[in-house]
Chains A and B, each alone.
Chain A
Amino acid sequence: MVTIEQVQQKLNLKVLTMGEGSTPISSAYTSDLLSDVMANGEEGGALITIQGHKNSVAVASLIGLNTIILCNGRLPADDMVEAAEEESIAILVSQENQFTVSYKLAALLGLCN
């Protein structure tokens, strides 16, 4: 079981808001298309994306994702962080791209055999 805080430390992610840091991340989905995330993201999972705006938070909250990892050093609009705080969703920023973040997170979650 890997928590949001552990993922943040191991992947060296910048914290914009921590959500509920001690909650585990159970899976992850990588996509920049919000309808795609809506259809395929799993509850308790993380979203790996470059969509740094409020609508990503809305999608995360609707399907129960607890973490959004923004890639390529993207910084979100201020209102995105505010919305995430309200919904207790973590927003973490990586300097790396979606592919790199995805395989590192997969390894951390023990999904690479």
Chain B
Amino acid sequence: MRLKIKDVMTRSLISVPMGTTMREVQKLMREKRITGVPVVDNKRLLGIVSMDDIIQALDFGYIEEKVEDHMSSNLILLDEDMPISFAIKYFDRYRYHRFPVLNKEKELAGIVTTRDIITRLLWEINNEVDSLERENLAVASSEGISIEHQVYPVRKLDFENAGHASTEIKKTLKQSDLFPRTIRRAAIASYELEMNIVVHSNGGTITAQYFPDKVIIIGEDSGPGIENLDEALKQGYSTATEWIRSLGFGAGMGLPNVKSVSDDFSITSTPEKTIVKSTILFSENEKKNLDKRS
């Protein structure tokens, strides 16, 4: 999710020109149920009249005077191409409820509120969940062979749910007539990859792809990457902290274990992404068993 401010901001703006009175703005706020109105001159933002400004005007008796004399003009502006994380930081830092947003031409393009961001994030999360669920359904490959495909999210330092993906993968494999030895190898590969994501990464996914002659298990995370790949593949090398070791992890056996149970093993790692792929082939006898069944 790389959302920018322009993806979440409100574009249909209610604004007023110079010369409008504070009273008129107060009416507008009540009618449109809004709490801030930008003052604009030919698309240029001059200031904002907030609910606070209106209360002050009522208190001090200048509600009939013009907006340009009493609006807040010392504004914090955001750029529409900024990531929304930036806006969230600004909401934390300043106690404003809204920020005006400018486009590249420095014209007023919209206004962003915390509500805009929350609404959009909820929408994105729902979409994400939907697409994960869709990926879990069987998809037919181009050759017409049915390939089962499962994706499990794995969260950083979530020891509570650790092992869930591997357990599910093992259950799926157990439903076929595979040899216990093959299921065990797949369980070891998926468990170690899952724990690596829990212990070392910012979070990621475990994917299992089921083929008629093999199962492929892919561990993918969103960083921070493995600094020394050669070392990480040696037994006993670990970057885990004391706390993680006390739980029985970080023994420096994870990747070597995956490698030793895989028929084919590959790993790529950058600071943004690490992908480990373990392929476990079925033996000829196993394939016969599977054929008989189907």
Contacts and interface: CB of A to CB of B under 8 A. Distances in A.
Given A38-B192, A53-B159, A58 B248 contact: no
A56 B162 contact: no
Contacts of B191: 38, 58-59, 62
B167 interface: yes
A55 B251 contact: no
B253 A55 contact: no
Q: What does DSSP make chain B's interface, helix, strand, loop or mixed?
A: helix
B159 A39 contact: no
Given A51-B247, A53-B247, A62-B167, A35 B254 contact: yes
B248 A55 contact: yes
Interface string A57-78: 0110111100000000000000
B288 interface: no
A36 B253 CA distance: 7
A35 B253 contact: yes
Nearest to A58: B163
16 contacts: A33-B249, A34-B195, A34-B251, A35-B257, A38-B257, A51-B247, A53-B159, A54-B162, A55-B162, A58-B162, A58-B191, A61-B163, A62-B163, A62-B167, A62-B187, A63-B184
Interface string B249-285: 1010110010010000000000000000000000000
Contacts of B254: 35
Interface string A67-104: 00000000000010000000000000000000000000
Contacts of A38: 188, 191-192, 257
B166 interface: yes
A34 B167 contact: no
Interface in B175-191: 180, 184, 187-188, 191
